[in-house]
Amino acid sequence: MNLSTRHITTIALCTAVICILAQFSIPLPFTPVPLTGQIIGIFLAGALLGSKKGALAVLAYLLLGTAGLPVFAAARGGIQVLAGPTGGYLIGFVPGTYILGKLVEKKRENASSRLMIGMIACLAFSYLLGGLHLGLVMNFNLTQVLLTGILPYLPLDILKIVITLPLIKGIHRQFKAINLQSGL
């Protein structure tokens, strides 16, 4: 993968957006998993940067947080966050972003459908790895994982997909105007 200065800048920008959106965090009393805005940044990274560059933006986010910078939800950082109850969701962002990026890199037909399917797949990877990790760390059974780590978030995350779809399309038009490649 050949990275130009322009692409490194857009990767860094997407990483910064993820860091900022993670701070929109609302703790819920019945679960260690907060509501956050970071999935919107994850969607942006995969859809606008494609599979490899989008995954790099997410990896940069995880590395910053793991190094101790307060970029994870509620201004937390450190390896203990990845080892804690929410770590699986964060790790799930990487394959989710990659799959989203791969889907938008394909042919231009049905771009909106592929984008929506990609965002759903991205969310599914986060839920899958997040739910597995939550269950292991908290010693939860499947029902507890569903009730505390997936089902309460599903309606809002679907709304985030609906809101993010036109946002991505608008940003993509701007990328095209300044001659940056994007998956759409």
Q: How many domains does the chain have?
A: 1
Question: What CATH number does residue 56 fall under?
Answer: 1.10.1760.20
Q: Is 79 inside any structural domain?
A: yes
Q: Considering Cα of 60, then 114, then 168, then 129, what sign does the dihedral take? A: negative
Evaluate whether residue 50 is within a structural domain: yes
Q: Is 174 inside a domain boundary?
A: no
- Could you tell me which of 5, 6, 14 has the C-alpha nearest to residue 101? 14
Residue 16 domain-assigned?
yes
Whole-prediction pTM value? Answer: 0.92
- Residues 102-158 have pLDDT tens digits of 999 986 677 888 999 999 999 999 999 999 999 999 999 999 999 999 999 999 999
**Alpha-carbon distance 182 to 184, whole Å?**
6
Task: Examine residue 183 and state whether it is found in any structural domain, yes or no.
Answer: no
- Kindly tell me if the per-residue pLDDT of 183 is higher than 50: no
**98 domain residue, yes or no:** yes
Per-residue model confidence (pLDDT) at position 171 = 86
Q: Classify residue 176: in a domain, yes or no.
A: no
Q: What percent of the chain has pLDDT over 70?
A: 93
Tell me whether residue 60 is in a domain: yes
**3 vs 71 pLDDT, higher one:** 71
Contact of 56 with 46, CB cutoff 8 Å: no
pLDDT at residue 17 in the model:
97
pLDDT category at 172 given cuts 50, 70, 90 is: confident
Domain range spanning residue 150? 5-25+32-169
81 burial type by CB count under 10 A (0-12 exposed, 13-18 middle, 19+ buried): buried
